[in-house]
A = this chain, B = another copy of it.
Amino acid sequence: MQDSDACVQPTDAPSRLTGTASWYVGRAALRAQQNTHQHLGCAGFRKWHYGVLATVAELGPSTQAEIGRRLGVDRSDMVALLGDLESAGYVHREPDPTDRRRNRVTITDAGKQQLVELDALVLAANDQLLAPLSPAERTQLLALLRRVVEAP
């Protein structure tokens, strides 16, 4: 058996599913997830590692709670996530002197450098996902999804 079952597209799903947006959104998300996981995985990263690095890079030093809020990642999961990144030397955690409940998370030079490399991988994964669409269609899809996601 060399089946592996993974990455095998489902064929002819029931019309009750192929009539819904939820179905396609779910399938598309799975594909997106597999693409980015595969690309980032080669570098030893997962998607939230990238998300955290991106957040800290763009926002400057932040607290764990703030990063989690921006990304929609649970405060609880942030602990391990930042643990990974810190022990790899990509971020630095230090207690905030002005509010000693908080941790100030800062990206290191190694982190910034790594982030640039990851950008290329994420871009490639995205291009792969959107391959069937023209540039105009990609913009359109992005706009529609934005409206769905940013709904009250």
Interface residues of A (CB under 8 A from B): 5, 8-17, 20-22, 24-33, 35-36, 51, 54-55, 57-59, 69-75, 119, 122-123, 125-126, 129-133, 137-138, 140-142, 144-151
Q: Is the CB of A144 within 8 A of B148?
A: no
Q: Is the CB of A10 within 8 A of B133?
A: no
Number of copies: 2
Q: Roughly how many angstroms separate A72 CA and B148 CA in the complex, as a whole number?
A: 25
Given contacts A14-B54, A20-B126, 16 further A-B contacts (CB under 8 A): A8-B72, A12-B70, A13-B71, A14-B57, A14-B58, A17-B51, A17-B71, A25-B29, A25-B145, A27-B72, A27-B149, A28-B148, A30-B72, A130-B148, A132-B151, A141-B145
Q: Is the CB of A149 within 8 A of B51?
A: no
Q: Is the CB of A129 within 8 A of B148?
A: yes
- Say yes or no: A21-B138 contact (C-beta < 8 A), given A54-B16, A69-B11, A72-B27: yes
